[in-house]
Amino acid sequence: MKHLRTLGYCIKQGFSGLWKNRLFSLASIATVMACLTLIGTFYFVYLNVENALLKAESSVGMTVFFNEGVEEDRIKEIKSKLEKVEEISEVRYISADEAWEKYKKENMTEEMAASFGDDNPLKESASLEIHLKNGESGKNVADSIRDVSGVRTVNFSETVSERLSDIRALIIAVATVLIGMLAAVSFFLIRTTIATGINVRKEEISIMSIIGATDLFMELPFIVEGIFIGLLGGLIPLLILNYSYTIVENALKREFGNAFENFNLLPKSEVMGGFLPVALLFTVGIGFLASWITAMGKVRKIAVEHF
Partner 1 sequence: MGRIDINREFNKIQTPVISFNNVSKKYNTGTDALSNVSFNIFKGEFVFIVGDSGSGKTTLIKLILKETLPSSGKVFVVGHETKRLRRKTVARFRRSIGVVFQDFRLLKDRDVFENVAFAQRVIEAEPHTLRHKVSKVLNLVGLSDKARALPKELSGGQQQKVAMARALVNNPIIMLADEPTGNLDPNSSREIMRLLDDINKRGTTVVVVTHNQEIVDEMQKRVIVLKDGKIVRDEAKGTYDAVRKEAKEEFE
For position 206 contacting partner 1 by CB under 8 A, the verdict is yes
Q: Are strands 62-66 and 127-132 parallel, antiparallel or unpaired?
A: antiparallel
Burial 232-256 (b: 16+ CB within 10 A, else e): bbbbbbbeebeeebeeebeeeeeee
Please answer whether residues 183 and 11 qualify as being in contact, where contact means their C-beta atoms are separated by less than 8 angstroms. Answer: no
Q: Site for partner 1 (CB under 8 A): which residue of 45, 169, 177, 207?
A: 207
* Residue 264: CB minimum distance to partner 1, A: 57
Q: What's at 96, amino acid-wise?
A: A
* Residue 22: CB minimum distance to partner 1, A: 16
Interface mask (CB under 8 A) for partner 1, residues 36-65, using x and -? ------------------------------
DSSP state of 257: T
**How many residues appear in the chain?**
307
Q: Are strands 62-66 and 88-94 parallel, antiparallel or unpaired?
A: unpaired
For position 98 contacting partner 1 by CB under 8 A, the verdict is no
Distance CA 82, CA 90 (A): 9
Smaller CB separation from partner 1, 172 or 207: 207
For position 6 contacting partner 1 by CB under 8 A, the verdict is yes
Binders of partner 1: how many residues, by CB under 8 A?
22
Please answer whether residues 164 and 57 qualify as being in contact, where contact means their C-beta atoms are separated by less than 8 angstroms. Answer: yes
Q: Site for partner 1 (CB under 8 A): which residue of 107, 110, 118, 211?
A: 211
3-state secondary structure of 116: coil
Please answer whether residues 280 and 231 qualify as being in contact, where contact means their C-beta atoms are separated by less than 8 angstroms. Answer: yes
Bridge partners of 206, per DSSP, are none
Interface mask (CB under 8 A) for partner 1, residues 277-306, using x and -? ---------------------------xxx
Distance CA 288, CA 26 (A): 16
Q: Site for partner 1 (CB under 8 A): which residue of 42, 93, 103, 217?
A: 217
Interface mask (CB under 8 A) for partner 1, residues 62-81, using x and -? --------------------
Stretch that binds partner 1, among 62-70, 143-151, 207-215, 258-266 (CB under 8 A): 207-215
Smaller CB separation from partner 1, 110 or 305: 305
Smaller CB separation from partner 1, 92 or 301: 301
Which helix H or strand E contains 89, and what residues bound it?
A: strand 88-94
Q: Site for partner 1 (CB under 8 A): which residue of 113, 213, 266, 293?
A: 213
For position 19 contacting partner 1 by CB under 8 A, the verdict is no
* Residue 24: CB minimum distance to partner 1, A: 19
Distance CA 234, CA 279 (A): 7
What is the binding site for partner 1 (CB under 8 A)? 2-3, 5-6, 9, 203-204, 206-215, 217, 304-307
